Structure 1
Amino acid sequence: MTATVHRLNPHGTPSLDPLMALVAQDLNLVNSVILDRMQSQIPLIPELAGHLIAGGGKRLRPMLTLASAKLLGYEGTRHHKLAASVEFIHTATLLHDDVVDGSDLRRGRRTANIIWGNPASVLVGDFLFSRSFELMVEDGSLKVLKILSEASAIIAEGEVNQLTAARRIDIGEERYLEIIGAKTAALFAAACRIAAVVAERDQSEEMALDAYGRNLGIAFQLVDDAIDYVSDAGTMGKDAGDDFREGKMTLPVILAYARGNDDARAFWKEAVAGRRISDDDFMHAVALVRDSRAVDDTLARARHYGQRAIDAIGGFADGAAKRAMIEAVEFAVARAY
């Protein structure tokens, strides 16, 4: 099979519409599984879970499972429950993240922890994790179970790694990439890879899809972290400056600190330590990030990982699925433009 070269073009107007159209019928079946499995005799569980699950998320990760199955020509139904399992893992981590971060907004709406409190959010997150593992077990594949359970453990490790890195000015780019590779990219990779397992494809295709998802996940998070310094709550779906106020050493801060003069470095040390978190301080941080070209270079790295994602599926046959998956990468990067 001859690979075709496709170059990332972040300045076009890419959309998720081709991906959504490609998997629309399958996604309806996945949503039915999600709706069924989030039910409980305890009314608070579906109420709280439904607030987040129905809260406007694009279902990107389960869509990637479905699209990867289309790319491989898989015509079975096993991927429906597994895509729901992927979404439950993602939703559970969001519930836990919002508690850890003390977030007020998620996708432009009040977070579950603000409405129902931290204990309920943590416990419903645990419930959704349990549901995800039920779905994995029902599939019956030990390999699928291994891939998704390992991804769940890696995500948790990434979140703990990020927690221990918070408010530490000495966090460098290598540690940062390690964190986002775990907390974001691991689930993207697993979501794509399991399609090759259910389609009974060989290891090379399995790992090509893993690489596509992993690189897309890194690009996606890099863009998110850049947007935090150039956007507002309406665009971002969370309060602009959340990362800044939480003392997170994201790549824009790492680069701005490394390139700053003595005054800029003194400011960043105070800010990361939590002593400069006013709106004026945030605006000063935005100016420092802009003047040091830290956002530009963060987005350049995102384009690099996006191109790696596209290259990873270069060997698959051209068609609607491949084109939609390529455009999904372009969309992920173009969100910042």
Structure 2
Amino acid sequence: RRSRPTVNAIWDNHIAVLVGDFFVSLSLHKAVATGDLRIIDTISHLGRTLSLGEIDQINKARYHDITEESYLDIIGSKTASLFVACIKMGGYSVNASDEDIERMCRFAQLFGLCFQIRDDIFDYFEDSRIGKPTGNDLREGKITLPLLHVLSIDTLPRHKEMNELVRKDELSSEQIATLIAYAREFGGIDYAYDCMSRFRDEAVEIISHFPDTEIRRSFISLFDFIIARHN
């Protein structure tokens, strides 16, 4: 969908919702066809997790009540859960051991967290390749990791002023630019990359328990790619 119009943009919200309903129904139909209740349960649980993650994000944005911990919980529900569900269903379909599935689910969770953190970093830079306007998250009331980090450091200049600014119900383009510049100037982007690096190291340690094959190396390469990607 990057740099391409969405279903909603081409037609309208009504069509977009119908298309979404179609794909959910189709995925449940395919899950039932496997005859494995664990796969059906995974698909059902995923829908619940995604919905609760979205509700939690809307609530946090409305009341300006978000911490780094709650941010990670939200992106864990809204993004990482998709990757975890794929790993679970793949593992079930080949009768992988519970231990291996558990390990790979943690790998997938770390992968999903890094995917979303990198996606959120895009919001702090102007780049036509990305396909969304700079500051779009703040415009929607979403505070992401780079800004969350600098706002938590009470020794930084203008700390109180920036925390009061971010709690406004509506932000002007100039105010959004001010908050983005603040996050960039005081190390918010670097902190986000440090978090991804820690998650990546943990993921590599997890997957090192599996044989050294081209598949294992591909998983690591894919992890590195999502951290380094430009769109």
- Structure-2-length-normalised TM-score: 0.91
- Cα gap change, 1:115/1:199 in structure 2, threshold over 3 Å: closer, same or farther? same
Whether the aligned pair in 1 keeps the contact of 2:139 and 2:170 (CA below 8 Å) is no
| RMSD of equivalent CA atoms | 2.0
- Cα gap change, 1:139/1:243 in structure 2, threshold over 3 Å: closer, same or farther? same
Q: Which runs of 5+ in 2 are unaligned?
A: none
When structure 1 is superposed on structure 2, of 198-207 and 266-275 the one drifting more is 266-275
Aligned length: 230
Partner of 2:223: 329
1:256 pairs with 150, 153, 157, which one? Answer: 150
Partner of 1:142: 37
Letter in 2 for 1:177: L
- Cα gap change, 1:271/1:114 in structure 2, threshold over 3 Å: closer, same or farther? farther
Partner of 1:186: 81
The 5-angstrom pairing of residues 1-337 of structure 1 reads 55=1, 107-232=2-127, 234-259=128-153, 261=156, 263-278=158-173, 280-335=174-229
- Cα distance in 1 for residues equivalent to 2:166 and 2:13: 26
SS of residue in 1 equivalent to 2:65: coil
Q: CA offset at residue 259 of structure 1?
A: 2.6
Q: Which runs of 5+ in 1 are unaligned?
A: 1-54, 56-106
Whether the aligned pair in 1 keeps the contact of 2:147 and 2:180 (CA below 8 Å) is no
Letter in 2 for 1:200: N
- Structure-1-length-normalised TM-score: 0.64
Q: CA offset at residue 176 of structure 1?
A: 0.8
SS of residue in 1 equivalent to 2:101: helix
- Cα distance in 2 for residues equivalent to 1:275 and 1:143: 44
Q: CA offset at residue 217 of structure 1?
A: 0.4
SS of residue in 2 equivalent to 1:166: helix
When structure 1 is superposed on structure 2, of 115-124 and 297-306 the one drifting more is 115-124
Partner of 1:96: none
- Cα distance in 2 for residues equivalent to 1:242 and 1:142: 40
Q: CA offset at residue 288 of structure 1?
A: 0.1
SS of residue in 1 equivalent to 2:171: coil
- Cα distance in 2 for residues equivalent to 1:308 and 1:193: 19
SS of residue in 2 equivalent to 1:228: helix
SS of residue in 1 equivalent to 2:172: coil
Whether the aligned pair in 1 keeps the contact of 2:129 and 2:230 (CA below 8 Å) is no
Q: CA offset at residue 167 of structure 1?
A: 4.1
Whether the aligned pair in 2 keeps the contact of 1:226 and 1:295 (CA below 8 Å) is yes
